[in-house]
Amino acid sequence: GRTSDTTVITLGHGLDPTHPVHQSMVFMADTLAVISEGAMRIDIYPSQQLGTERQLLELLQIGSVGITKVSAAVMEGFAPEYRVLGLPYIFRDEAHRHRVLEGQIGEEILLSSERALIRGLTFYDAGSRSFYTKSRRVETPEDLEGLKVRTMESASQIRMVNAMGGSATPIAWGELYTALQQGVVDAAENNPPSFYLSRHYEVCQYYILDEHSAVPDVLLVSTHVWNRLDVQQRAWLSEAVRASAKVQKRLWRLASDDALAAVTEAGVEILRPDKSPFEAAVSDIMAEYEADPRLGPLIRGIRSAP
């Protein structure tokens, strides 16, 4: 049918519809429909129907998909500024992280990908990532020695895991359950909801809350779409985005607490090691990043932020 009066934006992402981030997007779509009085609509395609995170970014550049959500780690290939967000222990704590991402530095990073035809709208919280192992108790970085740790396919993540003593092994997320079960890798790392929803806790005994990094998710719009919107439409969209980000933060915290409770219930032992030896293990590579002319100022800016 024809929808000549309504501006429709296509949103594709890779999560299933029960995920808190999907629900926050539904909230955004509902909010936009209400405040624009039906002049704008977002059609959401979950579950990788339109592609994986990286493929969706390309579709934003091509112009066939309007909005997507990816991990900030995936953005590294599109805008190098995003690399700082994945650095180990870059944020002091959750409150610090939220202030930085909602402040001027966050804004700067969101707009850094505009030259790649993608514009950041907001960050979604994705908590902190921690290691989990099949069978080894890990209290210090030395305990990671000799463990094959599944890592995201990102140069900086690989360096980090190796610096902490593990043996970084990139494996596709979808193949990780079997890889852990069969022993192709001995460990992996992710945030509590992902550890829970992926069911990796069925084959892993320990979740080690070292909270080594806190890569956020990021909501992005194609500049093809953004540039076509008038001032009023952009204001509506921005308002809906802000409302959604607020809801998402609450939903994420709930999901994170629920996940830790559920994996404990299922017999996983949660370890809370001293984080400082882990942080010390990566101090050399952090010094290197600080020497980088593009990343250095950003890193110092984040560190000195209140």
Partner 1 sequence: MKAHVDIWLGRFVVLLMAVLVLDVVWQVLSRFILRDPSTVTEELARYLLIWLGLFGAAYAAGQGSHLSVDLLGSTESRRRASRVAEAAFGLLLIIGGVRLVYLQLVLGQSSAALGLPLGVVYLAVPASGLLFLFYAITRRAD
Partner 2 sequence: MGGLEIAVLAVAFVVLLLWGVPISYAIALATLATMLVSIPAMPALTTEVQRIATGLDSFALLAVPFFILAGHLMNHGGVATRLIRLARAVLGGLPGGLAHVNILASMLFGAVSGSSVAAASAVGSVMTPEMSKDGYDREFGAAVNVTAATTGLLIPPSNVLIVYSLASGGVSIAALFMAGYLPGILVGLMLMGVAAYKAKKLGYGAAGTAHREPLGAALIDALPSLFMLFVVIGGIVAGIFTATEAAAIAVVYALVLALVYREVGWRDLPRIVLDASEMTAVVLLLVATSIGMSWIMAYVKLPAAVTGALLAVGGNEIVVLLLINVVLLMVGTFMDITPALLIFTPMFLPLAVEMGIDPVHFGIIMVLNLCIGICTPPVGSVLFVGVGVAGTTITRIVKPLLPFYAAMVIALILVTYWPALSMWLPGLLGL
Instruction: Give contact residues for partner 1 (rule: CB under 8 A).
Output: 58, 61-62, 76-78, 115-117, 146, 148, 153-155, 158, 167-172
| 181 neighbors 86 (Cβ within 8 angstroms) | no
Q: At what angle do helices 20-35 and 231-265 cross, to 10 degrees?
A: 150
CB of 14 to partner 1, least distance (A): 16
The single residue among 9, 40, 46, 129 that binds partner 2, judged by CB under 8 A, is: 46
Which of 186, 210 has the CB closer to partner 2? 186
- Residues in a beta bridge with 25: none
Binding residue (CB under 8 A) for partner 2 from 6, 34, 38, 62: 62
Stretch in the footprint of partner 2 (CB under 8 A) among 17-25, 71-79, 125-133, 294-302? 17-25
182 binds partner 2 (CB under 8 A): yes
Burial of 37 (0-12, 13-18, 19+ CB in 10 A): exposed
Out of 95, 172, 235, 254, point to the residue binding partner 2 (CB under 8 A): 172
- Does the footprint of partner 2 cover residue 146 (CB under 8 A)? no
44 is a site residue for partner 2 (CB under 8 A): no
Which of 19, 97, 119, 212 forms a contact with partner 2 (CB under 8 A)? Answer: 19
Q: CA–CA separation, 76 vs 111, rounded Å?
A: 14
Instruction: Enumerate residues 198-237 that contact partner 2 by CB under 8 A.
Output: 198-199, 202-203, 224
Q: Any residues with CB less than 8 A from the CB of 96 and at least 6 apart, and which? A: 305, 306
The distance of closest approach from Cβ of residue 218 to partner 1 in the complex, given in angstroms and rounded to an integer, is 16
Q: Between residues 91 and 196, which has the closer beta carbon with respect to partner 2?
A: 196
DSSP code, position 278: H
Residue 83's binding partner out of partner 2, partner 1, none, with CB under 5 to 8 Å set by partner kind: none
CA distance 218 to 59: 16
Other CB atoms within a 10 A radius of the CB of residue 283 amount to 12
Candidates 123, 132, 196, 252: give the one binding partner 2 (CB under 8 A). Answer: 196
**Helices (H) and strands (E) in the chain — how many of each?**
12, 11
Q: Which does 261 bind (CB under 5 to 8 A by kind): partner 2, partner 1, none?
A: none
| One-letter amino acid for residue 93 of the chain | D
Residue 196 interacts with, from partner 2, partner 1, none (CB under 5-8 Å by kind):
partner 2
Instruction: For residue 256, give both structure tokens.
Output: 């994170």
Question: Is 38 a residue that touches partner 2 (CB under 8 A)?
Answer: no
Helix (H, G, I), strand (E, B) or coil at 41: strand
- DSSP E strand boundaries for 172-289: 187-190, 206-213, 217-222, 269-271
Measure the CA–CA gap between 99 and 133, rounded to whole angstroms: 32
- CB 78, min distance to partner 1, A: 6
The token duo for 60 is 């934003």
Binding region for partner 2 (CB under 8 A): 1, 10, 16-19, 45-52, 55, 58-59, 62-64, 172, 174-175, 177-179, 181-184, 196-199, 202-203, 224
